[in-house]
Amino acid sequence: MESARAAGLSRNDDVLCDECTQELPPFERAAAFGNYGGGLRSLLHLYKFDGVRALRKPLGLRLADAMERACEGLSGPVQVVAVPLYRGKRVFNQSAEMADEAVRLLSGTARQFTLHRAHGLLKRTRRTESQAHLSPKQRRRNVLGAFAVRGEVRGAQVLLVDDVYTTGATVVECTRVLLRAGASSVRVATLARTQRGLFATWDAADRDTAGWDAAGWDLPKAGA
């Protein structure tokens, strides 16, 4: 598996952002492949907005790295759910396509967990504004009530996938909806992260020690 270092991206130790120190996210763990800048941003824009679909495989390879790290410690089936788009917004859902490629790349290898594509479990119920120019508070209001579960997730381990993690408003809202519907746990994997440094991963078991590792940050599971 190609690493972030091989792609010219670093995985430095990181700290929780101000938002996360004030209110811990409800997901158990988050991981991103690299920083949203330079070549990675350019490639994602070409794929997402210019429709260069040939980038699905190289970007899926990088997302697979984050997905594998996000699932560390899990065993059994894991439902992979891409953050849904509102119908008609774009011809294709870039997160779903990259996630499918990542699942293909990770399948057939010896791991304690098995990934299953399940994008249909989550739907977007209304159109939302672009998050790009909104404040963190506006982002949370923008996505509030914008997602719903379609199908059975009770007891399921869910890996939520998106292209970029900025403030986390979207994946936090999706996580809350999934947990309310009975999912046993939700973890998050993204291709990129906008803040300096890279994701780490936070295990609920580490919440008392607030441990850090070189791979990124861990986020304890907050109460529902």
Q: Where are the domains of the chain?
A: 25-196
Which numeric CATH code is attached to 25-196?
3.40.50
SS3 sequence, the chain?
CCCCCCCCCCCCCCCCCHHHHHCCCCCCEEEEEEECCHHHHHHHHHHHCCCCHHHHHHHHHHHHHHHHHHCCCCCEEEEEEECCCCCCCCCCCHHHHHHHHHHHHHCCCCCCEEEEECHHHEEECCCCCCCCCCCHHHHHHHHCCCEEECCCCCCCEEEEEEEEECCCHHHHHHHHHHHHCCCCEEEEEEEEECCCCCCCCCCHHHCCCCCCECCECCCCCCCC
Q: Is the pLDDT of residue 99 over 70?
A: yes
140-173 pLDDT tens trace: 666 666 788 999 999 999 999 999 998 888 899 8
Q: Is the pLDDT of residue 2 over 60?
A: no
pLDDT at residue 171 in the model = 92
pLDDT confidence band for 219 (50 / 70 / 90): very low
pLDDT at residue 205 in the model = 42
113-137 pLDDT tens trace: 999 999 999 998 876 656 556 666 6
pLDDT at residue 195 in the model = 64
pLDDT at residue 8 in the model = 26
Q: Is the pLDDT of residue 89 over 80?
A: no
Which has the minimum average pLDDT: 25-34, 66-75, 95-104, 199-208? 199-208
pLDDT at residue 221 in the model = 35
pLDDT at residue 53 in the model = 92
Rounded to two decimals, what is the model's pTM?
0.75
